[in-house]
Amino acid sequence: MTPNPKSGRKTIQVVIAEDQGMVLGALAALLEMEGDISVVARALDGREALDAVLANKPDVFITDIEMPKMTGLEVAAELKRLRTGTRVVIVTTFARSGYLRRALEAGASGYLLKDRPAEELADAVRRVHKGLRVIDPELATEAWGELDPLTDRERQVLRLAGDGKASGDIAGELGLSEGTVRNYLSEAISKLGAGNRVEAARIARTKGWL
Amino acid sequence: MTPNPKSGRKTIQVVIAEDQGMVLGALAALLEMEGDISVVARALDGREALDAVLANKPDVFITDIEMPKMTGLEVAAELKRLRTGTRVVIVTTFARSGYLRRALEAGASGYLLKDRPAEELADAVRRVHKGLRVIDPELATEAWGELDPLTDRERQVLRLAGDGKASGDIAGELGLSEGTVRNYLSEAISKLGAGNRVEAARIARTKGWL
DNA sequence: CTTTACAAATGACATTTGTCATCCGGGAGT
DNA sequence: ACTCCCGGATGACAAATGTCATTTGTAAAG
């Protein structure tokens, strides 16, 4: 609990969230090697992460997107709403423009891919701590690529359809009529230029619209 | 290039392969913290990995499964064929019994999940280096769980169907008649206890049968 | 030379999907 | 009050999908 009594005391405090324990530990190890950064807490899911950030008030919060309980984007949005001073850096596998947009809307200061060399993480933490924005170059360019044409309903319906559920089941799950579900699906299919529900779901997923 | 002039000189030499640069670096950092382990090379894809192992003859080779060029399983199989003395540890996201089976057939000595706590990695390396086998507990139990009931045809057809292709397209792509495709699909669906092609594909995928 | 076995195809049928035009019941405007 | 719009629901119809029983080659086993 006592703050790392290292050089000068002015280390950057960070909290990390990542659902794969091994990766979480490894990233933490990576950051701990840097003299000017201390990992004050780790979390294996979104809810835990949110609590950890609120409890520790770190300078920077590093988080994955796809996690149990709450996604990294949801946590970021919540932190923005609560006006904590903590800066958020998203670290994810997915180069999806939809994710980046949502991340920025949720007030994230950084968005970088797990593809990048490891050194960039510590760099990003420092830059973001200074108040700068760090966006992965690959995304930065085409970032503002076409925006999500789907309505909320279409999204929900498409999500379930993509898992192989039948129209009737989906209807039951969402409290709609089967016909209505088919209508939404039909709309989504045409908006995405797909040939059927499955392809539509696939397309939406790769764009990060889910 | 000079071997780490640490305590005693008898460190375990390892090569790591993982396609996500950030994770690769982090895992390396994690292992480097252990006094008795040295990371002598890193690789970002399968081919690179194979070369690195052949060039360095490490004690242990740690690898992800899903990588560009060559999968970790393929590299493992090749190393077995070449009778190098290097022990292989698979580290992956997927708890699929199909993968585990293939890993063991390819002569891997370890199979662990990225879900597990980070400490287990170094442990696994040490155990494997001693000649022991390390299988993730979650998989170890049901490991020999039900073997793939699908025929090759069913697999092919299911793969395409899972991407949203229609029966007709699949037929064209495989040089079969549409009716036949539907028959295979129907068979696969019943074998897997699914309700339709999409669910069947999903189930097969999670079992590692693809 | 049979028998058996299996991959592939056919045909027929019920069900599910995808499409479209239309209808209903509230708001929100003006 | 009276439109106009929008989420949702209906109904109808064509197309795609899932199921089965049956048939045809063909290759291995006897």
- Residue in chain B closest to A24 (alpha carbons) equals B118
Q: How confident is the model at residue B54 (pLDDT cuts 50, 70, 90)?
A: very high
A65 CA to C28 C1', in Å?
38
* Least CB–CB distance from B164: residue in A21, A114, A199: A199
Position B3 scores a pLDDT of 47
Which CA distances in Å does A117 have to A113, A145, B190, B197? 9, 25, 46, 39
- Which of A19, A23, A31 would you mutate first to test chain B, the one with the most B CBs within 10 A? A23
Q: How confident is the model at residue A170 (pLDDT cuts 50, 70, 90)?
A: very high
- Which of B18, B30, B62, B189 would you mutate first to test chain A, the one with the most A CBs within 10 A? B30
Residues belonging to chain A with any Cβ–Cβ distance to chain B shorter than 8 Å: 19-30, 33, 91, 93, 112-121, 162-166, 194-202
Q: Where are the alpha helices (DSSP H) in A33-151?
A: 46-56, 72-81, 97-105, 119-129, 137-142
Residue A92, classed as helix, strand or coil, is strand
Interchain CB distance below 8 Å, B26 and A21? no
User: Does position A163 have pLDDT exceeding 70, yes or no?
Assistant: yes
Average pLDDT of chain A is: 90
Q: How confident is the model at residue B210 (pLDDT cuts 50, 70, 90)?
A: confident
User: Does position A193 have pLDDT exceeding 90, yes or no?
Assistant: yes
* Least CB–CB distance from B115: residue in A21, A117, A201: A21
Position A147 scores a pLDDT of 72
Q: How confident is the model at residue B141 (pLDDT cuts 50, 70, 90)?
A: low
Q: Residue B132's Cα: distance from chain center in Å?
A: 19
What distance in Å separates residue A116's CA from the closest CA in chain B? 5
- Residue in chain B closest to A33 (alpha carbons) equals B29
Percent over 70 (pLDDT), chain B: 92
Q: Which of B135, B169, B37 is nearest to A196 (CA)?
A: B169
A149 CA to C29 C1', in Å?
26
- Count of CB atoms within 10 A of residue B3's CB? 10
pLDDT digits (tens, 9 = 90+) for B126-138: 999 999 999 998 7
For residue A131, give the amino acid letter.
G
User: Does position B43 have pLDDT exceeding 70, yes or no?
Assistant: yes
pLDDT digits (tens, 9 = 90+) for B173-189: 999 999 999 999 999 99
Q: Which nucleotide is nearest to B176 (CA to C1')?
A: C8
Mean pLDDT of B89-111: 90
Residue B135 bridge partners (DSSP): B111
Mean pLDDT of A177-185: 94
pLDDT digits (tens, 9 = 90+) for A21-59: 999 999 999 999 999 999 999 999 999 999 999 999 999
What distance in Å separates residue A77's CA from the closest CA in chain B? 25
- Maximal CA-CA distance, chain B: 69
- Which of B14, B16, B20, B22 would you mutate first to test chain A, the one with the most A CBs within 10 A? B22
Residues 153-172 of A with CB under 7 A from strand C: 161, 166-168
What distance in Å separates residue B82's CA from the closest CA in chain A? 30
User: Does position B139 have pLDDT exceeding 90, yes or no?
Assistant: no
Long-range CB contacts (within 8 A, 24+) of A123-128: A124/A89, A125/A12, A125/A14, A125/A31, A125/A37, A125/A60, A125/A62, A125/A89, A126/A12, A126/A36, A126/A37, A128/A60, A128/A87, A128/A89
pTM value?
0.80
- Residue in chain B closest to A199 (alpha carbons) equals B164
What distance in Å separates residue A160's CA from the closest CA in chain B? 11
DSSP state of B139: H
pLDDT digits (tens, 9 = 90+) for A86-100: 999 999 998 888 888
User: Does position B145 have pLDDT exceeding 80, yes or no?
Assistant: no
